[in-house]
Structure 1
Amino acid sequence: MAGQLKTLWQILVYLLPVVPVTIELTLFSFGLAILVGIFVGIARISHHPIIEKSSKIYVDVLRGVPLLVQIFFIYFGLGKVLNLSSFVAGVLAIGIGYSAYLAETVRAGIQSIPKGQYEAALSLGMSRTQMMRYVILPQSLRLVMPPMANDFIACLKDTSLVSVIGMRELTRAGREFYSQYFVDFQTWLVVGLLYLAMTLGLSRLVAWLERKFKVHGLGERGA
């Protein structure tokens, strides 16, 4: 028993230094996903057919191609041309991949705002750009904050995929430890527990966001 605990402790000590790398990768990737997702989400409801159809194709393609394939495409394609590191390639691939899902979330949030909000903004003399920037988008982002937080948790878990391109994050470090010491079950047990600890912490954050950002009257039928 003591030997097992010592092994688990050795694995934990080996893996803990790469936990911040996993968190950093998640933050950069999801930050990019939010920025791109907002613009694509707005484009999805554009009155210009070319913009609307182009954004729909963007979303459909990225949601239809596995994220692992997108990582390979970015790293071995764009990454070789621009000499991108595995970290940058991972951020781009995960960020762009998740932007397609966030775009649909943002679109749904915008469309859930009552038409009276649009009419009131236009009656005040706002342009459509001003209306979207100052009235519609702030309310819709407040509405979609909880589902976006759930996507953030999924993004954290999907960072494990970049281990296939040599990015040394939590999963890659677990594989390294196993290859050196041939300790399989305990290694992946600790890896899983570390991911679980991070996701449980984020789940608590999601629950808090759901309480804080719940907006009564918006997105409800008859509002």
Structure 2
Amino acid sequence: MNRAPLPPDLIGGALGIYERYAPLFWFGVRNTLLISLSATIIGLFIGLFFASLKQLKIEKKDLLFVRIIKVVLRVIANLYIEIFRGTPMIVQAIFLYHGLRPLLGWTPLVAGVVIVSINTGAYMAEIIRAGIQSIDKGQYEASRSLGLNHVKTMIFVILPQAIKNAFPAIGNEFVVNIKDSAVLNVIGVSELYFQSTAVAGIVFRFRDTFFITALIYLSLTFTTTQILRIIEKKLDTPEGLVGASSSSANNFFGFKRKGGQS
């Protein structure tokens, strides 16, 4: 049974296409959100790691071997950040996917998560570094004088505050990933843009199809931005993230535990 032709106008055509192919669009939305959220979380931890490496301090008491190790680690961190911030993600996607696929045998979706995570990690490292630099240096010195080593000082004193200060930028990276995940269509990831291209190829109505796509992307980014603003306001209250204190050791990110002490 032949379907009725789509209306020629933009709105009518878009509604007709959406009615017929909504499952394809929402499959793409699911993968887009899965990749974006997973990559943002993984990228945050990658960023924390490399930001911490960049903050390694060479101390007078360090042995020569330790000093060399610290310098090497800082160089590695700088190279990673500069390479992945200085090259387009679409190039990274093609290079990493086709370069490592014979060794890893990964699916496009898994490769997409890994690629966006690595790319995001480079930006997160700079975001976290800026957050670390916003913390009063006296807190680091005071923590060291109390007997905490560099690692414990970073984990229990500096990073919780740095994450709070950097939260708007961290949230913005998630929004950016929702949009930038579209480049993964070049390696066959069935995200929203890929699915939209498939639908447009079926109906030969690119204008109408990508009008739907634009509205979906706009809805995703607008909704995400509003949710992040609500969370940001929560974190700015005394009940949100707390500053460095003795409780930080029991409460890594500063959130109060229900039924317990902060």
- The TM-score, its normalising length taken from structure 2, stands at 0.77
2:24 to 14, 30, 37: 14
In 1, the alpha carbon distance for the partners of 2:35 and 2:197 equals 18
Larger Rg: 2
Structure that is richer in helix per residue: 1
Task: Give yes or no for contact 2:185–2:194 (8 Å, CA) kept in 1.
Answer: yes
More displaced 10-residue stretch of structure 1: 118-127 or 78-87: 118-127
- Structure 1 residue runs of 5 or longer lacking an equivalent are 219-223
Partner residue in 2 for 1:221: none
The residue number in structure 1 matching 2:251 is none
Among residues 140, 155, 163, which one is paired with 2:162 in the alignment?
140
Give a deviation string over 1:67-92, Cα, whole Å, max 9, x none.
00000011100122211110111111
Q: Which runs of 5+ in 2 are unaligned?
A: 1-6, 58-69, 244-262
Counterpart CA distance in 2 for 1:74 and 1:25 is 16
1:76 aligns with 2:98: yes
Find out whether 1:123 has 2:145 as its counterpart: yes
- The count of corresponding residues between Structure 1 and Structure 2 is 217
Structure 2 counterpart of 1:170? 192
Contact 1:19 1:169 in 2 (8 A): yes
- Give distance in 1, aligned partners of 2:237 and 2:40: 24
Give me the whole-angstrom Cα distance separating, in 1, the residues matched to 2:107 and 2:135: 41
Partners of 1:114 and 1:182 in 2: CA distance: 59
Deviates more, 1:69-78 or 1:122-131: 122-131
RMSD: 1.9
* The 10-residue stretch of structure 1 (48-57 or 175-184) with the greater mean CA deviation from structure 2: 48-57
Residue in structure 2 matching 1:151, options 167, 173, 198: 173
Give deviations 1:129-164, integer Å, cap 9, x for gaps.
111111111111111111100011001111111111
Give CA-to-partner distance per residue, 1:37-72, whole Å, 9 cap, x none: 110011111122222122111111111111000000
Q: CA deviation at 1:205?
A: 2.0
1:209 aligns with 2:219: no
Q: Distance in 1 between matches of 2:107 and 2:34?
A: 15
Determine which of 20, 27, 31 is the counterpart of 2:37: 27
Gap change, CA 1:128 and 1:9, over 3 Å in 2 = same
Tell me which residue corresponds to 1:197: 219
What TM-score does the superposition give when structure 1 sets the normalisation length? Answer: 0.90
Report if aligned partners of 1:8, 1:186 keep a CA contact under 8 Å in 2. Answer: no
Once structures 1 and 2 are overlaid, which stretch shifts more, 136-145 or 205-214? Answer: 205-214
Query: How many angstroms does 1:13 deviate by?
Result: 4.5
Residue 181 in structure 1 maps to residue 183 in structure 2: no
Q: Is the Cα contact below 8 Å between 2:81 and 2:123 reproduced in 1?
A: yes
Please identify, of 167-176 and 14-23, the stretch whose mean Cα deviation from structure 2 is larger: 14-23
Counterpart-to-counterpart distance in 2, 1:64 and 1:130: 32
| Kept after mapping to 1: 8 A contact 2:28/2:194 | no
